[in-house]
Amino acid sequence: MHMGNMKQKLIVSVILTIPIILLSPMMGMALPFTITGIPGQNWLVLVLGSILFFYGGTPFFNGARGELQSKQPAMMTLITMGIVVAYFYSLYATIMNAWHPHAMIMDFFWELATLIDIMLLGHLIEMNAVMKAGSAVDALANLVPKAAHRRQHDEHYQDTPIDELDLGDVVLVKENERVPVDGRVLTGMPTLDESLLTGESVGVMKHEGDHVVGGSLNSNTPFTMTVAKQAQDGFLAQVQQLVTRAQQAKTKSETLADRVAGWLFYAATIIGILALAVWTVIHGFAFALPIAVTVFIIACPHALGLAIPLVVARLTGIAAQQGLLIQNRPALEQVNQLRYALMDKTGTLTAGNFKVQQVLTTTDAMTADEILQTAAALEQGSTHPIATSLLQAVTGDFPTVMHQETIPGAGVTGMIGDDHFALLNMPALHERGIAHDHTMFVSLADKGYTVSFLVKHDTVVGVIGLGDAIKDDARQFIADLKAQQITPVMLTGDNEAAAQVIAQQLEIEQVHANLKPQDKVALVTQYQQQGGVMMIGDGVNDSPALAQADLGVAIGAGTDVAINAADVVLVHSKPSDVLTLLSLARQAKRKMTQNLWWGAGYNLIALPLAAGILMPIGIRLDPMVGAILMSLSTIVVAINAMTLRLK
């Protein structure tokens, strides 16, 4: 059911309900505003009730069918039982009263109409409060181009749908285009952004014969590749399958409200049948039938339909004010069972921005600013992440570079005036036998930074540390998680050394590095065998794990794929907001439990009394008393939901 359809059903049902309320009694009792004496009044109510039953009841019939097919009767089955019994008994009462004017058989059209309306309203409130922003699978599909530049027999390239690519086809990938399918580099030495695979923003240089992943971004130079896997077998297709399976498994999990409704369904069915059998033996079927019908109808009190939606509406409103977008409310019910918080490194615990973090000088001849300007000048025209970071760190004009040359896998060189400069990495420095201060290198490498050396005439004049910075609130966040007896675990596609550096600074003991998406899913599943698991991430490579976890939390600044796969989105991208989420979720869980007790607890008294258990001593549930109890429980549920607040 989509929102527009549900809203339309509610509006039409309310319009039909108004005359039904005015023309029919409530549980056999005429209210002050009940209209009587209209010719054919009972038949008019029957017609209106029939339209309402078949039109407004459709969502519940469809839901009940699914629950019964899965052999898990729950809320939809309970609602369907109530409205089906109410309708058909009221149909029977209308016909019998017409044939036998003195029969005075009570109908339940008033209850039928209000029950359908309130249940539709409850579902609409919950749907309106919690709407999925989009589909994670669709977002994954958008990461690959719809067509690829395939080489033809005449050596020209023609755009071809990726579904039509065959193994061995040669494809051209232009600058700033995404790789269409998995394959191997044929010609060229591109630098690819494989963050969707590893979560790391640092570019990866590829050489001839290297494997490339469909969906990765070619950041600097055109290259050709051969198709190694067709679109339906590639990396992103596998991620799509992982996400889909995880989401389907999660939707099959029972909510607390469904469990309560299931218990009530069985209780009402058993008590109703026993009442029918016992009273038929004692006083006959005509006496027993109204008793059994009353049992079936009051088993589904109006309060139960609003018990959860009212809390959800309040919860999502407060959460939105705190920068929390709740997309899958039932997942929050697992909050008290959480024992592990599995989290990605880049973008979650760190800022996710590869940039200049520190500049060290080795001579008084050049200042830190001059070192940065010279390094950025050498990197002009390159789209490599190191070059981009240097260029972003410098303002003003750059010195003119002559004879600029890129050395693959090593760095870049050029002439500035009469001076020869080079920006090199550590292996290139060793290869050329250039001396350097190892202490400076270690001081930056220990922080997890990528280190570049600015060399002037074979002498190191400056050392630049580039990398990601830990988020300001990350350390306190980890400490607070531990205080709540939740064990933090780092999952990252980055290398072991870089992961350990961040983990040690944050005091995270359990670290898993060099992970692919399927590895993260396997680890989530493994930890789930030991307790409830919350997964926090922001990248494409996190999306299957976010969907698999008991509670998936996406960083708001992350990819659309991760956001759509998660249960909750942190709009402000602050890890500490997870603590606010946990606190709010615990409060909401408590309110939901209380409301279900109010909504269902009514039945603990009403069902046995309606079945006539105390009738031998002269006590029988008066229909008006039942109606008052039903209304009272609804009011209590509504007030209790409104008292939810973040402590």
Closest by CA position to 611, among listed 194, 288, 182, 229: 288
**Average pLDDT of the residues in 345-362:** 85
DSSP annotation string for 459-514:
EEEEEEEEE--B-TTHHHHHHHHHHTT-EEEEE-SS-HHHHHHHHHHHT--EEE-S
pTM above 0.85, yes or no: no
**Residue 574, domain member (yes or no):** yes
Residue 419 or 70, more confident: 419
Dihedral pair phi/psi, residue 118, rounded to 5°: -70, -40
Which one, of 428, 427, 426, lies nearest residue 405 by Cα? 428
Q: Which residue type, as a one-letter code, is found at position 71?
A: K
State the total domains in the chain: 4
Q: What is the pLDDT of residue 55?
A: 93
- Give the three-class secondary structure for 454: strand
The pLDDT of residue 491: 92
The dihedral over CA atoms of 235, 236, 237, 239, expressed in degrees to the nearest 10, equals 90
Of 45-54, 144-153, 389-398, 615-624, the one with minimum mean pLDDT is 615-624
Instruction: Tell me the CATH number at 502.
Output: 3.40.50.1000
Residue 492 is predicted with a pLDDT of 87
pLDDT band at 482 (very low <50, low <70, confident <90, very high): very high
Rounded to whole angstroms, the Cα distance separating 514 from 492 reads: 6
388 lies in the same domain as 331: no
One domain for residues 369 and 274: no
The Cβ of residue 602 has, within 10 Å, a number of other Cβ atoms equal to: 24
Whether 300 shows a pLDDT value over 90: the answer reads no
pLDDT at 35: 80
CB contact set of 257 (below 8 Å; sequence gap of 6+): 74, 75, 304, 307, 308, 592, 596
The answer on 207 and 76 residing in a single domain is: no
Strands (E), 139-216: 147-151, 157-161, 170-173, 183-187, 191-193, 204-205, 211-212
Tokens of residue 224, six digits: 């050709």
Highest mean pLDDT among 55-69, 103-117, 256-270, 588-602: 55-69
For 453-467, what is the mean pLDDT? Answer: 91
> Residues 262, 91, 279, CA angle at the centre, nearest 5°?
60
Predicted confidence (pLDDT) at residue 341 exceeds the cutoff of 50: yes
Lowest mean pLDDT among 249-253, 450-454, 575-579, 598-602: 249-253
User: 420 vs 333, which has greater pLDDT?
Assistant: 420
Quick one: how far is CA 427 from the chain centroid? 43
Active site residue 344: yes
Q: Are 39 and 115 within one domain?
A: yes
Same domain, 29 and 177: no
Instruction: Identify which of 100, 93, 333, 354 has the alpha carbon closest to the alpha carbon of residue 219.
Output: 354
Whether residue 134 lies inside any domain: the answer is no
Q: Assign residue 178 the CATH number of its domain.
A: 2.70.150.10
* Pair (144, 155) in one structural domain: yes
Q: 300-339: string of b/e by CB count within 10 Å (b at 16+)?
A: bbbbbbbbbbbbbbbbbebbeeebbbbbbbbbbbbbeebe
Could you tell me the residue range of the domain that residue 597 belongs to?
3-129+253-315+585-642
Per-residue model confidence (pLDDT) at position 328: 80
Per residue in 603-626, is it b (16+ CB within 10 Å) or e — as a string?
beebbbbbbbbebeeeeebebeeb
Q: How many CA atoms lie within 13 A of 321 on its CB side?
A: 8
Q: Record the tokens describing residue 81, joined without a space.
A: 């039982």
Q: How confident is the model at residue 274 (pLDDT cuts 50, 70, 90)?
A: very high
Q: What is the DSSP string of 268-315?
A: HHHHHHHHHHHHHHHH-HHHHHHHHHHHHHHTS-HHHHHHHHHHHHHH
Residue 484 pLDDT > 90, yes or no?
Answer: yes
Closest to 305 measured CA to CA, from 534, 513, 60: 60
Q: What are the angstrom distances between the C-alpha of 611 and each of 271, 281, 294, 644, 646?
A: 7, 14, 8, 36, 42
Last residue of a domain, one of 193, 214, 242: 242
Does the pLDDT value for residue 448 go beyond 50?
yes
Of 65-74, 305-314, 614-623, the range with the lowest mean pLDDT is: 614-623
> Residue 368 in contact with residue 624, Cβ under 8 Å?
no
pLDDT in tens, 493-549: 877 877 888 899 899 999 998 888 889 999 999 999 999 999 998 877 788 899 899
Residue among 82, 86, 115, 108 at smallest CA distance from 10: 115
> Is 107 a domain residue?
yes
Among the ranges given (297-301, 385-389, 518-522), the one the predictor scored with the smallest mean pLDDT: 297-301
Two tokens at 410? 């090593």
CA distances from 179 to 75, 182, 187, 334, 378 (A): 47, 8, 14, 39, 28
Cβ–Cβ under 8 Å, residues 221 and 190: yes
The domain that contains 420 carries what CATH number?
A: 3.40.1110.10
Are residue 228 and residue 360 in the same domain, yes or no? no
CA distance 162 to 172: 12
In a domain, 248, yes or no: no
pLDDT of residue 24: 84
Q: Which of 242, 271, 298 is the last residue of a domain?
A: 242
pLDDT band at 630 (very low <50, low <70, confident <90, very high): low
**Whole-number Cα distances in Å, 224 to 158, 166, 408, 513:** 13, 15, 18, 31
Higher local confidence (pLDDT), 307 or 58 = 58
Half-sphere exposure of 611 (CA within 13 A, CB side): 20
- Last residue of a domain, which of 210, 242, 274? 242
Average pLDDT of the chain is: 84
Q: Is 90 exceeded by the pLDDT of residue 625?
A: no
| pLDDT at residue 1, as a whole number | 46
Q: Average pLDDT for residues 442-464, to the nearest whole number?
A: 88
Residues 329 and 372 in one domain: no
pLDDT of residue 527: 96
For residue 346, what pLDDT is reported?
A: 80
* 344, 494, 538, 542: the active-site residue: 344
Average of per-residue pLDDT across 400-416: 86
Indicate whether 425 and 477 sit together in one domain: no
Strand pairing report for 338-344 and 487-491: parallel
Lowest mean pLDDT among 130-139, 155-164, 181-190, 485-494: 130-139
Higher model confidence: residue 199 or residue 641? 641
**Same structural domain, 517 and 622:** no
340 lies in the same domain as 479: yes
DSSP letter at 255?
P
Q: For residue 133, what pLDDT band results from cuts at 50, 70 and 90?
A: very low
Q: Is residue 647 part of a domain?
A: no
pLDDT at 464: 93
| Greatest mean pLDDT among 449-463, 601-615, 617-631 | 449-463
> Counting beta carbons within 10 angstroms of the beta carbon of residue 510, is it exposed (0 to 12), middle (13 to 18) or buried (19 or more)?
middle
- Please tell me the predicted confidence (pLDDT) of residue 549: 93
Q: Given this model, what pLDDT does residue 626 score?
A: 60
Q: Per residue in 223-241, is it b (16+ CB within 10 Å) or e — as a string?
A: bbbbbbbbbeebbbbbbbe
The whole-number pLDDT of residue 586 equals 92
Both 266 and 226 in a single domain?
no
DSSP secondary-structure letter at 456?
E
User: Is 397 within a domain?
Assistant: yes
